[in-house]
Structure 1
């Protein structure tokens, strides 16, 4: 009986952890503002009760940069559908949130 209870608690804990991680990614449409030499800046598009906010990504995967040359001015002002995560990791111990760009797709309006 004790082992049965231990298995149930373990399954519950794992399923809760998986559900929490799945909610960490955020999908939105955003306008690309440009690259300033250090960060890639996007401004989300306000909808409903959410205000627009500017998000800065300091590192973007080489795979995304091969698809879109975000270091040039070519895509400035373009709208993208992006998925990103906010990590608990801090940069240089400053305690700031770190945004990680997961996916990007150009949106045609």
Structure 2
């Protein structure tokens, strides 16, 4: 998912919600993120939750991926971009797959 190789991926179990949590080594400012899903196994109604170094939730916002194979870029609210975070959690409340499975080929964070 992070190695930029097309033949590797992350896949979830069945059911909803599914989530991916990223813990950063040092707090960083994150302005955007991108996902590349496998078509037919995309997240639908989704949410980003950001946490500070002390573990407090500092931001929460929805995002809505399309059911496509291409990378999709999502901008984070401008009011939050300047605040460093230490952890991000991507929650997929629903999936385009009948069984709730999600497959991610690439996930990138942008500062």
TM-score, normalised relative to structure 1: 0.24
Normalized per residue, the structure richer in helix is: 1
**More RCO (CA 8 Å, sep 6+):** 2
Normalized per residue, the structure richer in strand is: 2
